[in-house]
Chains A and B, each alone.
Chain A
Amino acid sequence: MFYREAGQYKTSYAKDLQAFPIKQDKIGMFIWGILAVVVAVIGIPGLGYDFAMKAIIIPTLIFTITALGLNILVGFAGQISLGTGAFMGVGAYACLKLTTFFPDVNILIHFVLSGFVAAVIGMFFGLPSLRIKGFYLVVATLGAQFFLEWAFGRIPWLYNFADSGAIEVPTRTLFGVPITGASADVTWQYFIVLFFLAGMTWIASNLIRGRIGRSWMMIRDMDIAAELIGVRPLWTKLSAFAVSSFYCGVSGALMVFIWLGAAEVESFDINHSFLYLFMVIIGGLGSITGSFMGAAFIWIFPILLKEVGKSFGYNATLMENISLVAIGVMIVIILIKEPHGLARLWQISKQKLRLWPFPH
């Protein structure tokens, strides 16, 4: 960064344990906060306000929550999952059922409760992780993916017997302002998503720095040694599945209720699960910052590519295919060059800037 931590000494462990021990980083976070409000007021210059919000900012923020959740499971606890899409689906369908049964309870509370429903389901499908690891676990989570997908499509009760077979989001309000459904206010939606993201980022960063986060990383790095030190694999793995699925559940509910407005089974299919995994890999396994970068990259890059292609007169399908190839290539390159993802590249450049202009 353009600043250095010289002269800032910590006089207690409590101060050293803060999230942002360096003063300039605190200022930096404050600036991000201001920026978030400014974006809400003027949008992104050069893009239409609604387009910027609906197509770029809101989905990116929602997928960041997903990426955080998946990163907790894959990056911190080392349990690979290809069922993310389906766990988001659990959140979405749970939210629909909750708001149908209790329409008077505020929808924000339902978003959180949906997360808990997803956590329970996630724990159930995480049970096999006690006996199996690695590729075998991949197969188990694929089982969760396909089974849940099937359930979403085949159990009409889940989508309130709608003729379309899809989730149709009812209008719900906050302080009298509609925040879901067709007439929702996009700025309010943005603030709600931002609120959830900020809170959940804060919680995630707290968890991973404390006892529970360490026990996840112990299981990830060397499970036998972890057990001999006293980590209970049952509780540790299941807590990772639960927390991760909670994040996925909340983001799934937000995705359908705030962003999509209606969703079919396809919104939760395996291809989405891949994309979320890519967000985590490209952003950086085991990094909170990485989850932000990965989600933004995987979501914005194809849109950008499509726009660029359009201006050169190529058709959209071709550009979509090119972006698939580009993302695949990126994954391979990242894995070869920097398995810790964009977050590590960012760290390295920060390190270099810190030494600049005297590189030695």
Chain B
Amino acid sequence: MNEMSSMTPEQLNAGGYSTPDGRPIGSPVMEMKNITLKFGGVTALSNISFNILEGEIRAIIGPNGAGKSSMLNVINGFYHPQEGEVWFQGSPRPSMPPYEIAEQGIARTFQNIALFKGMSTLQNVMTGRQLKMKKNMFWQMLRYGPAIQEEVEHRRKAEEVIDFLEIQHIRHAPVGSLPYGLQKRVELARALAMEPDLLLLDEPMAGMNVEEKEDMSRFILDVNEQYGTTIALIEHDMAVVMDIADRVVVLDYGRMLADGTPGEVQADQAVIDAYLGVSS
């Protein structure tokens, strides 16, 4: 098997190799082809192309206002680019309502935590199972037979995720009252409960202290390793990204500066000028 560091960009993009720590990387799941996104007269993204390979941890980084969140929203199908195409699993993805995107196996977290504040941790995690629950209104009303069986089955799944992310102790706590770091973790749990093929993380480490960041990094790596979930994440914190990502896209002012392994990106002069040189 090739070492990633010695591969050409074409080989890196094509997939079908193993990471240095032995995780298999498959073919492209998601491809951005010449994406341009405008709001009125403002161009948020211009001519961006990159892909996300099955099984990898893909990071999108850049300074404030670089267009990272817009990029994630395009991947997520929440924004529709004026130019370019988003390819999903080998074919162009038509624009569709957000709930259908979810049905295709894409889950996400949000920069400003978007938990359901009126519910407990457990209920929030259970919401991740909604799509997989099918029993109709009639059985729901009776909460008997098939409905309760289904509820129990998915409760078991939810509890697995809760165990995995070590949030058992706050299972019944209302999420609004939890500290910030735990809320982020509950949000990750909710996304994981969806058992997604592609997991999008919007600044998962924002606003955390060093210890919490380490925990979160560990969880992200564990998720990727244990479930083989493809992960795309936006992050501000360079150091963390370089540790966990397989490949990194760098954006600045809506343009793409670089795309490659963390080592390549760090060595790229344009990136150093735009980002690393000025940021701490």
B173 contacts the other chain (CB 8 A): no
A17 CB, nearest partner CB in chain B, Å:
6
Residue B14 is within 8 A (CB to CB) of chain A in the complex: no
Query: Of residues A16, A224, A228, which shows the largest number of chain B Cβ atoms within 10 Å of its Cβ?
Result: A228
Which positions in B face A, CB cutoff 8 Å? 76, 78, 97-99, 101-103, 107-108, 110, 114-119, 123, 126-128, 130-131, 133, 135, 137, 140-143, 147-148, 150-152, 155-156, 159, 190, 194
Contact residues in A for B98 (Cβ distance below 8 Å): 224, 227-228
Q: Tell me the minimal C-beta distance from A251 to chain B in angstroms.
A: 17
Q: Which residues of A pack against B, CB within 8 Å?
A: 12-14, 16-17, 203, 206-207, 209-215, 217-218, 220-222, 224-233, 239, 286
**Minimal beta-carbon separation of A340 from chain B (angstroms):** 10
Contacting pair A14 B130 (CB below 8 A): no
Q: Does the CB pair A212–B137 fall under 8 Å? A: yes
B126 touches A222 (CB 8 A): no
Taking the closest CB of chain B, its distance from the CB of A228, in whole angstroms, is 5
Closest 4 CB pairs of A and B: A230-B102, A206-B143, A221-B116, A225-B114
Which residues of A have CB within 8 Å of B128? 229
Determine if B137 and A229 form an interchain contact, defined as CB atoms under 8 angstroms apart.
no
Tell me which residues across on chain A come within 8 A of B102, comparing CB atoms.
227-230
- Docked Cα-Cα span, A227 to B123, in Å, equals 16
A228 and B101 contacting across the interface, CB-CB below 8 Å: yes
Given contacts A206-B142, A221-B119, contact A227 B148 (CB under 8 A): no
- A131 → B minimal CB distance (Å): 14
Could you say which residues of chain A place their CB within 8 Å of the CB of B140? 206-207, 210-213
When the two chains form their complex, are residues A218 and B116 in contact, meaning their CB atoms are under 8 A apart? yes
Query: With the chains together, A239 CA to B140 CA distance in Å?
Result: 13
A229–B190 contact, CB under 8 A? yes
Judge whether A230 and B103 touch: CB under 8 Å.
Answer: yes
Additional pairs, 5, CB under 8 Å, beyond known A206-B142, A227-B98, A228-B99:
A12-B152, A214-B127, A217-B123, A218-B116, A230-B99
Q: Given the known A-B contacts A222-B117, A231-B99, are A14 and B152 also in contact in the complex, defined by CB atoms under 8 Å?
A: yes
User: DSSP class of A's interface residues: helix, strand, loop or mixed?
Assistant: helix
Q: Is the CB of B116 within 8 A of A211?
A: no
What's the A-B contact tally at a CB cutoff of 8 Å? 100
Q: Is the CB of A217 within 8 A of B151?
A: no
Given A228-B108, A230-B103, the answer on whether A217 and B152 have CB atoms closer than 8 Å is: no
Question: CA of A209 to CA of B120 in the docked complex: distance in angstroms?
Answer: 12
Cα–Cα, bound, A323→B250 (Å)? 65
List B contacts of A214 (CB < 8 A).
119, 123, 126-127, 130
| Cβ 8 A contact of A232, one of B78, B99, B150 | B99
User: B141 and A222: CB pair below 8 A?
Assistant: no
How far apart sit A212 and B135, CA to CA, in the bound complex (Å)?
Answer: 10
Known contacts A13-B152, A17-B148; A229 and B130 CB within 8 A of each other: yes
In the complex, which residue of chain B has the Cβ closest to the Cβ of A16?
A: B155
Given A210-B151, A220-B118; A229-B101 close (CB under 8 Å): no
With a cutoff of 8 Å between Cβ atoms, the chain A residues found around residue B131 in the complex are 229-230
Is B151 touching A227 in the complex (CB atoms < 8 A)? no
Q: How far is the CA of A221 from the CA of B98 in the complex (A)?
A: 17
- Residues in A with CB closer than 8 Å to B78 are 228
Smallest CB-CB separation from B144: which chain A residue?
A: A206
Nearest CB on A from B138, distance (A): 11
A222 touches B97 (CB 8 A): no
Task: Determine the distance from Cα of A229 to Cα of B126 in the docked complex, in whole angstroms.
Answer: 11
Name A225's closest neighbour in chain B (CB-CB). B114
A27 to chain B minimum Cβ distance, whole angstroms, is 21
Q: Which residue of B lies closest to A76 (CB)?
A: B118
Residues from chain B with Cβ under 8 Å of A286 in the complex: 118
In Å, the complex CA distance between A90 and B133 comes to 33
Distance in Å: Cβ of A284 to nearest Cβ of chain B:
12
How many whole Å from B57's CB to the nearest CB in chain A? 21
A116 to chain B, nearest CB (A): 13
Q: Contacts A17-B152, A231-B99: A224 and B130 contacting too (C-beta < 8 A)?
A: no
On whether A207 and B148 interact (CB within 8 A), knowing A229-B127, A232-B99, the answer reads no
Min CB distance B141 to A, Å, is 5
Nearest B residue to A204 via CB reads: B141
Residues of B within 8 A of A13 (CB): 151-152, 155-156, 159
User: Known interface pairs A17-B151, A207-B141. Does A227 touch B133 (Cβ–Cβ under 8 Å)?
Assistant: no
Contacts of A17 in B (CB 8 A): 148, 151-152, 155
The reply to whether A218 and B127 form a contact with Cβ atoms under 8 Å apart is yes
- 19 CB < 8 A contacts A-B: A14-B148, A203-B141, A210-B147, A214-B123, A214-B126, A221-B115, A221-B117, A226-B116, A228-B98, A228-B101, A228-B102, A229-B102, A229-B127, A229-B128, A229-B190, A230-B99, A230-B194, A232-B99, A233-B99
For residue B142, which residues in chain A have a CB less than 8 angstroms away from its CB? 203, 206
Residues of B within 8 A of A207 (CB): 140-141, 143
CB-CB nearest in chain A for B200: A228
The distance from the CB of B88 to the nearest CB of chain A, in whole angstroms, is 15
Contact of B130 among A16, A220, A221, A231 (CB under 8 A): A231
CA–CA, A227 and B108, complex, Å: 11
Is there contact, CB below 8 Å, between B116 and A217? yes
Q: How many angstroms from the CA of A14 to the CA of B147 in the assembled complex?
A: 11
A229 touching B107 by the CB < 8 A rule? yes
Whether A210 contacts B143 by the Cβ 8 Å rule is: yes
Bound complex: CA A127 to CA B222 (Å): 44
Q: A76: shortest Cβ distance to chain B, in Å? A: 9
Which residues of A have CB within 8 Å of B137? 212, 239
CB closest residue in chain B, given A209 = B143
In the complex formed, the residue of A with least CB distance to B107 is A229
